Chain A
Amino acid sequence: MNNDKDIAILGVGMHPWGKWGRDFTEYGMVAARAALADANVQWKDVQFVAGANTIRNGYPGFIAGATFAQKLGWSGVRVSSSYAACASGAQALDSARAQILAGFCDVALVIGADTTPKGFFAPVGGGDRKNDPDWQRFHVLGATNPVYFALFARRRMDLYGATAEDFAQVKVKNSRHGLSNPNARFKKHNTVEDVLNSPIVSDPLRLLDICATSDGAAAMVVCSMDFARKHLGSTDGLCRVKAVGTVTPRYPQSILELPDIASDSTAVVPAPDRKYKDSIAWSAYEQAGIGPQDVNLAEVYDLSTALELDWYEHIGLCAEGEAEGLLRSGATTIGGRIPVNPSGGLACFGEAIPAQAISQVCELVWQLRGQAVGRQVEGAKVGITANQGLFGHGSSVIVAR
């Protein structure tokens, strides 16, 4: 399944996730140096830096590509800075991939890092911004991010018979997966009782159903297959990026998604057959020329436990309404047919927005190389990520070895 649209992932690196409140660039530098060392590439040889922006850390966050190029030492390198909310990291990867496939550069550094405030995410910037939909949803409705997560959770309960215990079992599984992950923030094995005894935040979701916000950083060094061949003498056994799906919705977006106050109208144009979050993964499958039956593991965006169940269906691991059954069967636990979030997922990491989509790809690389100590999916050859961002963003990356 190799083709001329492949690029190679030479190296990956992360700074552990946590809540330290230090400058985000400190974390990013640790991740960048780790990825360069893993790739055995010198900073002076990097020709392109694709940064994923953070909007909560002032100007350096809005120009992440340049910020890290300067931190690593100005070298004349070209840069891009991507913002696509939670999909920013994948969009940065896509930017680097396009540069490489177009022949404009051979080797690129993809990087994202964040420092997050405590508590609920609130609109960025102060004042009454009455025309900003983000301001409107908080002021008029009090619609926090967990409100939207809860709407999806409640639908699973009322339509498919999901229970609070099903949601808790997702946390139990992911907390076990992440126990020995050196980059995870939360390394505690939670029980169903732990989850059910935590306070309800947005009914039916409890504190332990909802992911935290974290500090963290992830980076990777990607290159053309020609560069990889010269650098290593061979491309055998290299992890290849087979697809980066970054589609936006098709009108009408009939599902009420974060941060919208209403869906699009289906009165005149019917809703597309493939709903938006399904189309994200399917666009990646089409690029890679494979289907859900070909993947060995998935890293999906468990902003809440219930959203992980939605993702089972969006990425085609089971039909709509069958995710609880798939979870209960053990198929998505390490050792099962299709382990989901072997890294521990957002349940163990919390979300460091611009780094998160990159960290998902880092995990695929460690898994496919057989380096995921204590959480290894045996014999994994193909992995998929799926991620959702606000304002019509989302991403799915397929990596094969």
Chain B
Amino acid sequence: MSETLSRVPIIEGWFTDDIDAPTLIGSKCPACGTYVFPPRTGDCPSPLCESTTLEPTLLSRRGTIWSYTENRYAPPPPYVAADPYQPYALAAVELAAEGLVVLGRVATGILAADLKVGMEMQLELDVSHRDDEHEYIVYVWAPAAPASTAPVASAGGGRS
């Protein structure tokens, strides 16, 4: 059934629909190098910069939790809540390289009790909701796999 639904982002242009390595799409100022999320065109937000353009850029997939919460009740529309409603968590994640804190839903099934300020998170994709024709995809934060168990660590051998 789900293969008959077309997969569409919940909002256009905020993230790449890359199942293996989804990435947030932000904007970067070509003049001063500052970052913006959600992505937009137009003027640089810095009062110290006179650039009138911003360029799309991919943001870091990993960051650390600035804070988090859990919605025990369904938010009102335009949020599309499942019936029956299931509580879900939200996390604001700090991206070190970009100096941004980005709010996102947390992956289904991971609740506030599983989270902590400072915890490392990684961007993933999840299904927000479905209608008769579409499956709406949303970016979510999920606990990052510990570095020690990541495949790259064994490949990297004696680097540490």
Contacts and interface: CB of A to CB of B under 8 A. Distances in A.
Contacts of A139: 10-11, 78-80
Interface string B67-80: 11111111111111
A120 B77 CA distance: 10
B66 A200 contact: no
Contact of B69 (A119, A159, A202, A252): A202
Nearest to A159: B117
B11 A262 contact: no
B72 A138 contact: no
B108 interface: no
A98 to B, nearest CB: 24
B22 interface: no
A262 B101 contact: yes
Interface in A113-157: 119-120, 122-123, 128, 130, 135-144, 147, 150-152, 154-155
B11 A138 contact: no
A298 B22 CA distance: 47
Contacts of A144: 71, 75-76
B3 to A, nearest CB: 25
A248 to B, nearest CB: 11
A141 B104 contact: yes
Interface of B is mostly: loop
B11 A130 contact: yes
A205 B105 CA distance: 18
B16 interface: no
Interface in B40-80: 45-48, 66-80
Nearest to A122: B76
B99 interface: yes
Interface stretch (A263-271, A321-329, A332-340): A263-271
A142 B71 contact: yes
Contacts of A143: 75, 90, 103
A122 B77 contact: yes
B132 to A, nearest CB: 17
B67 A155 contact: yes
Contact of B76 (A130, A138, A154, A251): A138
B99 A142 contact: no
The size bracket of the interface on B is: 35 or more
Contacts of A266: 99
A147 B75 CA distance: 10
Residue in A256, A262, A268 with the greatest tally of chain B CB atoms within 10 Å? A262
B102 A200 contact: no
A243 B116 CA distance: 40
B71 A147 contact: yes
A154 B111 CA distance: 13
Interface string B83-94: 000001110100
B17 interface: no
Contacts of B72: 199-203
Interface string A203-218: 1110000000000000
Interface in A263-284: 263-269
Interface in A79-103: none
A124 to B, nearest CB: 12
B31 to A, nearest CB: 10
Contact of A142 (B37, B47, B90): B90
Interface of A: 119-120, 122-123, 128, 130, 135-144, 147, 150-152, 154-155, 158-159, 199-205, 251-252, 254-256, 260-269
23 contacts: A120-B76, A122-B77, A128-B78, A135-B78, A136-B11, A138-B77, A139-B10, A139-B11, A143-B75, A144-B71, A147-B71, A155-B67, A158-B118, A202-B71, A203-B72, A251-B45, A251-B46, A251-B48, A254-B101, A262-B100, A267-B99, A268-B46, A269-B34
Interface of B: 10-12, 14, 29, 32-38, 45-48, 66-81, 88-90, 92, 97-105, 111-112, 116-118, 138
